[in-house]
Amino acid sequence: MKHTLSFSRIAFSAALISTGIIGTGFSNAFADETIRDLAKERHRFIGTILNSEWFNDDIEPEFEEIHKTQFNVVVAENEMKFDATEPNENEFNFTKGDKMVEYALANGIRVRGHALAWHSQVAGWVSSNYAGQKDKLLAVLKNHIEKVVGHYKGQVAEWDVVNEAVNDDYNADWRSTNSVWYEGIGAEFLDSAFVWAHAADPNAELCYNDYSLEWGLREGSKASFVVEQVKRWKANGIPITCVGTQTHIEIAHETTPQNVRALAKALAELDVTLNITELDIGFPKGSAGKLTDADYAKQGHLYRQFMDVFLEEPNMGEFVIWGLTDAHSWLDEQQGKTEGLLYDKNYKPKPAYDSIMVSLKAHPASEVKSPYPESLFKDRMDCQTGNCGDSTIAIKPAAIATHLSMQIAGRTLSIAGANAAKVDVFDVQGRPVFSAKNVKGFVKLQDLAEGLYMIRVREGSASLTKRIAIR
Ligand code: XIL
């Protein structure tokens, strides 16, 4: 029902535009759009990490340009983890985290904090000084959470309070080995972590975050175990507000979007938000260089299905991808996978980018519910907190502002403001159906069947997208 309505509205407005009944043709009727703008209109957040290379000023200039234009929520890849923020006992280092918060504030981007209590990337001194000593470990964890959350109070909107505390066994239970917190304290470290984080910033959202939750709700599954814990936490007044499903998946994992939908529905019953926190959809590493258009279209289709679920479930808030460009991704470095992100190694958007845009457009803002208050999405020049929504500062850098415009009349696409444009047309599933290079003036879209399409025109860094109906 929702889809039927959405598509008929798009068809209606696109038909009006293409026949010239409404719209101003060459000017604002074809204003450029970003996935950030579309997410914001729907009162949702779309984001990606700042890679460690960004913190070290060792990344291409395109990275930041695209990052702040296309995304409105950000996470540090490694720089807010325990070993980065408290490398020595009670000696805190917030330099890199502060750099990110400053960048986020200047660009109207919400900040996720990642991660407070995790078995991995804990500073070495914790185990070497205190392994197995319950009271000491409780004091260490409490101090860490108080200092870190306290430092970022009002600036970090949401914390991954506990990360990956469930094991990988068939009968899910707490991770009981290689976890200094669990082995020394027991499962109560989780409850305490949430309580301490809430005391340090009562307005921050507090998440439990884990991987493989997208494998579904089944007897003994990780997702079912987590839902049971959330029930217990809520019943006991533990201040959890969200669950993060990391969603590091592979191209073959075709059922996972629907598993995420089922998890969202189960958490909605408990009044808890579900966020996609670390999405990537990797190909096997050996396939690099051999991937076909059909492979990228399949990846786009999966991205789109995740975005569809995200927009259709009212208790989902953030859609975060673990990386921006395939040039900088933990998949290649550590996972034996490759090419899982929205932009290729040359910062060109892949079909997955277009699929996400198509999904956003197919779900009009009027039909997308949000778990957040409207005030979060108001424009504000003077933004004092990370919770404050979009500032108007530097959201659209000059390089992205475009002189391009386009108009469709019948099957003729007229383009102004370009000497050699690249034109791409996609169907509503995000699959490429037409492409032309070096277009000046106009191009005929002869072979397209009747229907709805997305058109993208690009020249250099200028880019314009528009939906149309071909009749
Ligand atoms: C990864 C980073 O991307 C790597 O740079 C680092 O070496 C290891 O951690 N789940 C998480 C993230 O919660 O923190 C991990 O990030 C990826 C898996």
Provide the pLDDT for residue 61.
96
Centre of ligand 1 to C-alpha 77, Å, is 6
The residues annotated as belonging to the active site are: 164, 278
By CB neighbour count within 10 A (0-12 exposed, 13-18 middle, 19+ buried), where does 51 fall?
buried
Residue 391 banded pLDDT, cuts 50, 70, 90: very low
More confident residue, 264 or 27: 264
Provide the pLDDT for residue 204.
98
To the nearest whole percent, how much of the chain has pLDDT over 90? 74
Contact criterion met (CB below 8 Å) for 177 and 183: yes
Centre of ligand 1 to C-alpha 298, Å, is 25
Provide the pLDDT for residue 454.
78
d(C-alpha 97, C-alpha 25), whole Å: 45
Provide the pLDDT for residue 300.
97
Provide the pLDDT for residue 311.
98
User: What phi-psi label fits residue 31: left (phi over 0), alpha (psi between -120 and 50 degrees) or beta?
Assistant: beta
CATH topology of domain 405-470: Immunoglobulin-like (2.60.40)
Centre of ligand 1 to C-alpha 467, Å, is 37
Provide the pLDDT for residue 379.
63
d(C-alpha 319, C-alpha 311), whole Å: 10
In CATH, the architecture of 33-377 is: Alpha-Beta Barrel (3.20)
Residue 27 banded pLDDT, cuts 50, 70, 90: very low
Centre of ligand 1 to C-alpha 368, Å, is 31
In the predicted structure, residue 442 carries a pLDDT above the cut 50: yes
Choosing from 59, 207, 278 the residue with most ligand 1 atoms within 8 A of its CB, the one to mutate for a pocket test is 278
Crossing angle (nearest 10°) for helices 293-312 and 351-362: 30
d(C-alpha 244, C-alpha 246), whole Å: 6
Contact criterion met (CB below 8 Å) for 210 and 166: yes
In the predicted structure, residue 15 carries a pLDDT above the cut 80: no
Q: To which residue do tokens 């918060």 refer?
A: 101
Nearest atom in ligand 1 to the alpha carbon of residue 52 is 5
What is the reported pTM?
0.79
Nearest atom in ligand 1 to the alpha carbon of residue 114 is 14
State the average pLDDT over residues 288-301.
95
In the chain, what are the domain boundaries? 33-377, 405-470
d(C-alpha 367, C-alpha 4), whole Å: 12
DSSP for 6-28, please give it.
Answer: HHHHHHHHHHHHHTTSSS-TTSG
Of all protein residues, whose CA lies closest to atom 15 belonging to ligand 1? 77
